[in-house]
């Protein structure tokens, strides 16, 4: 039988701080990307496509961005309407489109990235790069643990 805890464990405060930090990052990203009239999810689509010269299918985008395909469809629709990306027909399978950046989309990502990278460094402040890398590894372990616990529920 599982142990019943009546009080938080020794790492509970760290979990709360992680949730606060996640919320702050989410809210900060909304403010950051507003100057380009983008959501952080829209930027993520554009940024992933930046390195995909042949484009990606919407299924590939959903896997890379860990999003449901229906959410990707809406994001692609809105970005395509703005002329930032386009769907190209796949000659091997007419049911599947490859999503690619347009020149306008490439230009916009190129304008955003310098500020994006600079802001990311400012967020870390005086935290040494070595410590940030250690934290990234610890967060990956935490992520795996979350998947294990939620899969068991």
pLDDT in tens, 8-41: 888 899 999 999 999 999 999 999 999 999 999 9
In a domain, 141, yes or no: no
In a domain, 55, yes or no: yes
What is the domain extent for residue 35?
26-125
Instruction: Encode pLDDT of 65-122 as tens digits.
Output: 989 888 999 999 999 999 999 999 877 777 788 999 999 999 999 999 999 999 999 9
In a domain, 13, yes or no: no
List, in order, residues 6 or more apart from 81 with CB less than 8 Å away: none
In a domain, 60, yes or no: yes
In a domain, 145, yes or no: no
Task: Tell me the chain's radius of gyration from C-alpha atoms.
Answer: 19
**Cβ pair 124, 132 in contact under 8 A:** yes
Residue 59 vs residues 64, 80, 97, 100: alpha-carbon distances, Å: 9, 17, 10, 14
In a domain, 67, yes or no: yes
What is the total residue count of the chain? 153
In a domain, 118, yes or no: yes
Total domains present in the chain: 1
Give me the CATH number covering residue 91.
Answer: 1.10.10.10
In a domain, 19, yes or no: no
CB-count burial class (<10 Å; 0-12, 13-18, 19+) for 84: buried
């Amino acid at each position: 039988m599982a142990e019943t805890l009546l009080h938080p464990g020794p790492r509970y405060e760290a979990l709360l701080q992680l949730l606060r930090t996640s919320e702050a990052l989410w809210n900060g990203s909304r403010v950051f990307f507003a100057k380009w009239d983008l959501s952080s999810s829209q930027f993520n689509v554009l940024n992933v496509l930046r390195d995909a010269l042949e484009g990606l299918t919407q299924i590939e985008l959903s896997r890379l961005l860990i999003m449901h395909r229906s959410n990707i469809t809406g994001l692609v629709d809105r970005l395509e309407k703005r002329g930032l990306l386009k769907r190209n027909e796949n000659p091997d399978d007419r049911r599947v489109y490859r999503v690619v950046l347009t020149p306008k989309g490439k230009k916009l990502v190129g304008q955003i990235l310098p500020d994006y990278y600079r802001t990311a460094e400012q967020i870390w402040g005086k935290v040494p790069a070595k410590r940030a890398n250690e934290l990234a590894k610890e967060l990956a372990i935490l992520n795996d643990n979350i998947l294990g616990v939620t899969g068991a529920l």
